[in-house]
Chain A
């Protein structure tokens, strides 16, 4: 039969709104987490990271929240701009293991002017 391509979850927002992108990670022992942004035709770009001894970390217009109880990570983008349109990936790493990140499947963010 015909193979079906992967359809990424999509979040559409208006310019100026706040965006929240969610990620469920798989390993409760993971203790380091990274968010990447991938624009069309480019490689994933590091945005922000957080270690498991924290539950919140802020950067410039971005905030990452970590809820270890339910294995959930979120990326909040304030005052979303058209340049924020991209696919966003979360990655989890287990320290003391291979230190190789496990990437999520990604969420497509579309910002409408």
Chain B
């Protein structure tokens, strides 16, 4: 069964450094998402992306964050200057085009295993 994959599984960085978290969505999916989960807190939406553009972003997704689809398979989240409070598990998700009314499952997001980011 196709899966969303994420690398690395764990990233440790120093405050102020740039990090890039990588995701490979399911191959026929065209909608991509990033969420994060700070330890002990809810999973929070960061951003959605379609057709090389941000579709929606949350208040958390400020100028320190950016997303990119650099090629046909990867989807990345960049944090330009990490802060201690960026420490969290970051999840990538993807969904296909076409909702259930048209026989697709675009209504459903499939998640990767996550990248644990630790900012020291």
Q: A and B, one complex?
A: no
